[in-house]
Amino acid sequence: MKHNFRIFRMILKRTHTGKIALSFIICFFVCAALIQIAEPSITTYGESLWYSYVAVATIGFGDFAAVTAIGRILTVFISLHATLFLAIIPAIFVSYYMEVIHRREKESVSVMLDKLEHLPEMSKEELQAIADKIKKIK
């Protein structure tokens, strides 16, 4: 689990999407505070966080409901922000992963072409290793 979290942080850092994640987290907590102020039925910050989580997760338990216009607008805003965030992050990870695979394939092909250009200079062991790699590819 710790290793997966490190990979997650590394990809966020390399793709510069940490700011998107941070903006979502800040938006979540600020909207929760504003909802607590705007909604008469939500009296504590904990209840407001719970309501915001339910709105983000699109679960809609119904234990709290926005009744004011500001509360409803904030609920729509946080829900849309969460939907975009949850759509962007997997797309970034898939794109990053595909780029890494493409780069590795390109490097492998470059190394193989370099070896093929220098066939006459290779030893029997090196030639056998190339032949074995080609058999694996087939």
- Domain containing residue 96: 2-137
Q: How far apart are CA 106 and CA 98, in angstroms?
A: 12
pLDDT average, residue stretch 77-103: 86
Residue 38: how many other CB atoms lie within 10 Å = 20
Q: What is the pLDDT of residue 123?
A: 86
In the predicted structure, residue 45 carries a pLDDT above the cut 90: yes
Count of structural domains, the chain: 1
**Residue 27's domain is classified under what CATH number?**
1.10.287.70
68 in helix, strand or coil? coil
128 in helix, strand or coil? helix
- C-alpha 41, offset from chain centre: 35
Q: What is the pLDDT of residue 51?
A: 92
Q: What is the pLDDT of residue 124?
A: 84
Least confident of 27-36, 43-52, 118-127: 118-127
In the predicted structure, residue 2 carries a pLDDT above the cut 80: no
In the predicted structure, residue 79 carries a pLDDT above the cut 80: yes
Q: How far apart are CA 61 and CA 80, in angstroms?
A: 18
Ramachandran quadrant class, 58 (left: phi over 0; alpha: psi -120 to 50; beta: rest): left
Q: How far apart are CA 47 and CA 28, in angstroms?
A: 13
CA angle (63, 68, 72) in 5-degree steps: 75
Q: How far apart are CA 19 and CA 42, in angstroms?
A: 30
- The model's pTM: 0.65
Residue keyed to tokens 């607590």: 36
Burial of 46 (0-12, 13-18, 19+ CB in 10 A): exposed
Q: What is the pLDDT of residue 28?
A: 95
